[in-house]
Amino acid sequence: MSWFDFMVLGYVLGGIVRTRIRWAVLGVCLLLGLLCLPAQAKPLVRLANGEWPPYLSETLPHFGFASDVVQKAFEAVGVEVEYEFFPWSRAFSYALQGRDEDGRVLHGTLVWVYTPARAVSFLYSDVVIEDSEVLFYSRDNPLDWSEMEDLRGKIIGGASGAAYLLLDDAEAAGILTIERSGGYESLFVRLLHGRVDAVPMVTQVGRFYVERVLNEEERKLIAWHPKVIQHRQYHLILSKNVDESKALMPLFNKGLAAIRKDGTYAGLLADLYAGKYDR
């Protein structure tokens, strides 16, 4: 073989090698490009929240028990949750509009009892939490009752915007008066100062405020009557003014059923009773 033949052979072989290298480099680049592509973003639901510890609070672990349940239920079906905290009147108003003060979408709010008036504007989820509503009172002004008529003439302290259902009916019947003012954190202050005769509150929320907000002397003055006013059920509500709500609600209910079935909900409930959401 002549030197010219060797040159031709070398050129051909070199071209083959260079071609293979180019294809190898191209393959690596494509692979790296695929690996570096961002993962598909999960759907996002934005919800108005407020202060109702230990179920809901901006300062508690996982934003409180109910917030944790809602987040994990959505997570079970691949939906991310973002909370915005407001005073309750604003939380409800923004959720109703479907927009916050900056014009960003708010799909709904948590957690609320069912009322026909609210159901006109909101879709209701399956039950998120349940608790029993009782009357808290001051030992300086003892309270005993077994039926609504026993509360005749009493002044009941309530939070602004809260629905008290059976007590609302009693007020409409002229049996008692509900004085609504401020948030839940102010109710025991009004009770201790004798401005109201009793305060209706579900047991876990009442326990939290007595144990975590009142001082030792104040705690000694507060008692609650064992008679249950009403067993209350609370829901996530999504605004009918937001198009995505119709698709999000069945997804949420599916996720909620899943975390109940696999034991996640029971574990969260055990944490609630152990006080892990109080800190």
- 227-276, pLDDT tens digit by residue? 999 999 999 999 999 999 999 999 999 999 999 999 999 999 999 999 99
pLDDT mean over 214-231:
95
- CA 253 to CA 99: how far, in whole Å? 23
Q: Which CATH superfamily is domain 44-130+232-273 in?
A: Periplasmic binding protein-like II (3.40.190.10)
- CA 123 to CA 241: how far, in whole Å? 10
Does pTM top 0.95 for this prediction? Answer: no
- CA 132 to CA 152: how far, in whole Å? 22
Pairing, β 44-49 against β 80-85: parallel
**Region class of 62: left (phi > 0), else alpha (psi between -120 and 50), else beta:** left
For the chain, give the percent of residues with pLDDT over 70: 86
pLDDT mean over 125-144:
96
Q: Is 3.40.190.10 the CATH number for 131-231? A: yes
- Check pLDDT > 70 for residue 216: yes
Question: 138-153: b or e for each residue (b if 16 or more CB lie within 10 Å)?
Answer: beeeebebeeeeebee
- CA 126 to CA 253: how far, in whole Å? 6
- The pLDDT score that the predictor gives to residue 40 is 59
Domain with CATH 3.40.190.10 in the chain: 44-130+232-273, 131-231
- The pLDDT score that the predictor gives to residue 19 is 45
- The pLDDT score that the predictor gives to residue 23 is 42
